[in-house]
Structure 1
């Protein structure tokens, strides 16, 4: 995976060349990624819900934290629409790019001690309801699916709430889904820039 070849860009989106995934994250090159958020309006509850994946405990980066519903890198030879494979690989959902709504491109930076992640993120939304039993998770990548109301998540990102309720399931060691509700705080999420998350929330709200 670290040897995957990614196209690299300047901050304005001009392609500069190709580098390995490991080099991209060491040197902080801008590169393209695909993010797909699942969110829908529940008429019965009168609420908009947003879904998060729980990253597998096997992941090198941010294990067991809540994250974008499905996401991945766009390889150097791929088109943006090829990124929809991540939805199938990680979540087991067979969606096509035509079923998704484009939310545009958002620039994001995540700087850690051993990684500089600068992304030109192509963001998509799937806005139809998905039942929990439809998810067939790739255990090496994802260990659970949870959801919160969009308003609660916004309040958490804006720091007007310290904790919010999420509900969903975690896949146990036998492969069965354990359904649960729990309280989570901001440190239970991958530390994406708050500006990115707020932009996502606004764009999702505009489409639902």
Structure 2
């Protein structure tokens, strides 16, 4: 909603005031967001899980993105952002279930989009098979990519990778899918942001 107030920061992370969500995006103001990346281990391989954005989304429809993410309102603390996991994916997790790696700057500047975020980044190590209840207006499914292959894709060392997961069909039932994806199928996060995500995750998994 345009009336939603967000805290505004400078490039160094100092709090300098508040602005509406509309102002934040139209003026490219730095603001806080909650980022939760789902990670699974299958046999000896780790997988990074990506939310498939709904076709009805105003910005970046049908692209793969952070497992669950959202804005942190001016009256909220960082931990309040965990609501996004349940709202978007229907997965009930506690903040104690997550691994916090800190706040990372993420800039997405394209055409009319001026999105400058201080993303508070968490990892969720999936303990077992999950059952999802998607917020279909926002999320059309969840796809996973082997971590090492995704890194190679992001660094443009390879052109395509295989992604598997579940998507919401026209009848609203969840169906299993497998598809080849390229770097252009992912939301264009800042290179430094994604490099930090991959570096921190590999450090945790060592």
- Normalised to the residue count of structure 2, the TM-score between the two structures is 0.96
Residue 36 (structure 2) aligns with: 36
Give secondary structure in 1 for the equivalent of 2:120: strand
Q: Does 1:169 align with 2:166?
A: yes
Q: Does 1:25 align with 2:22?
A: no
Residue 139 (structure 2) aligns with: 142
Give the Cα separation in 1 of the matches to 2:126 and 2:160: 27
Q: Does 1:10 align with 2:10?
A: yes
- Normalised to the residue count of structure 1, the TM-score between the two structures is 0.96
Give the Cα separation in 2 of the matches to 1:40 and 1:25: 33
The runs of 5 or more residues in structure 1 that have no matched partner are: none
Match of 1:159 among 156, 159, 164: 156
1:102-147 per-position Cα deviation (integer Å, ceiling 9, x unaligned)? 0111111111211211111100000123425x11100011001100
Give the Cα separation in 2 of the matches to 1:130 and 1:119: 31
Residue 187 (structure 2) aligns with: 190
- CA root-mean-square deviation: 1.0
Match of 1:116 among 114, 117, 126: 114
The runs of 5 or more residues in structure 2 that have no matched partner are: none
Give the Cα separation in 1 of the matches to 2:134 and 2:129: 13
Give the Cα separation in 1 of the matches to 2:144 and 2:128: 11
* Number of positions where the alignment pairs a residue of Structure 1 with one of Structure 2: 205
